[in-house]
Amino acid sequence: MQNVLNSVKGTALGVAEYLTPVLKESKFRETGVLTPEEFIAAGDHLTHHCPTWSWAVGDESKIKPYLPKDKQFLITRNVPCRRRCKQIEFVGEENLVEENDADGGWVETHHYNPDDAGSAGLEEKVCEMKLDSSRIEDEPAADMDDPRNLDDGDGGDGGDDDDDEDGAAIDMDEFEESGLLETVDPSNALLPAPNEKPKPAAPTEAEGDSVVRTRTYDLHITYDKYYQTPRLWVIGYDENRKLLSVEQMYDDVSQDHAKKTVTMETHPHLPGPNMASVHPCKHADIMKKIIQTVEEGGGELGVHMYLIIFLKFVQTVIPTIEYDFTQNFNITNHK
């Protein structure tokens, strides 16, 4: 049912985008949206600082006239994804980035809560891992410079008792003649008997389920004319470069966003199978809040930084896809 609703919404938004005029005047600071020119400027900044990203053209029949022909969308290929989202153990509670939202808002799944009882319990367990020094303190170390502490085989009462109990050493010639040496020959100990069939080799770890198969993803960033913001698209491949199924790609999406914030859509510039896309309906609101936070801290956020920040906040949706956004952005003091 959810897929049907998403399909209907996608068709309706396609019509709305076609009828929406191209944004000409900058409203970046007021509303967090971009003009096509500002999208190009932010894309140039991204490709300059993150060389793994580059501009792409796509299908000639789907060229958007409001964008330069050679800069239709951004792409990065073969991005590793070594873990599934369900394998991540989150620390702390989830924080809603976007509140009062019927769809549940944006969830920051990697938020760390220092007051969380679980983390305190972990610290207590680590503190309990101490060496029991009471026995060491009660038993003073032997002084090896003292001749009485050296076992020379002749001194000490314990040494005499051991010699008496062990008896005389076995003569090696007699041991060899008895045939016992052949039964314990270490060179033959691990070889199968002449009439014994060799056992099949046990499966190695590389053949088992414990090995994480590295998936790779191609990521695209397009300009959405209706929402006037960037839009992220991802398509995944297995270790043999075979296309992942829809459900397999959803395994690499935060379950708080799968089939809600992230849906399978038709790429605006490419033919072929649908791709997973992060819906852009909240992008402008989130960016507006970030701009306000920077300005309240005395800084100023340039429009060229848009895609760098954009890639940081969509990381909460696809936390295990290790794409490159390179720059370290400090939201409190950026100028």
Q: Which residue out of 50, 81, 127, 281 is catalytically annotated?
A: 281
**Angle CA 67–269–237, to nearest 5:** 135
DSSP 189-250: TTSPPTTPPPPPPPPPGGGSTTSPPPEEEEEEEEEETTTTEEEEEEEEE-TTSPBPPHHHHH
Strand partners, 264: 276
Are 107 and 256 contacting, i.e. CB atoms less than 8 angstroms apart? yes
Active site residue 281: yes
Q: How far is CA 250 from the centre of its chain?
A: 14
**Which residue type occupies 118?**
G
Phi, psi (rounded to 5 degrees) for 281: -65, -25
Spatial separation of the C-alpha atoms in residues 94 and 111, rounded to whole Å: 6
Q: What's the rounded Cα separation, in Å, for the pair 324 and 335? A: 22
Beta strands 275-278 and 229-237 are antiparallel
Residue in 318, 295, 330, 325 with CA at minimum distance from that of residue 29: 295
Could you tell me the sign of the dihedral formed by the alpha carbons of 64, 67, 72, 75, in that order?
negative
Of 313, 317, 322, give the one whose Cα is nearest residue 250.
317
User: Which neighbouring-strand residues pair with 276?
Assistant: 234, 264
H-run or E-run covering 306: helix 306-313
Report the b/e string of 178-189 with b at 16+ CB within 10 A.
eeeeeeeeeeee
Active site positions, annotated: 281
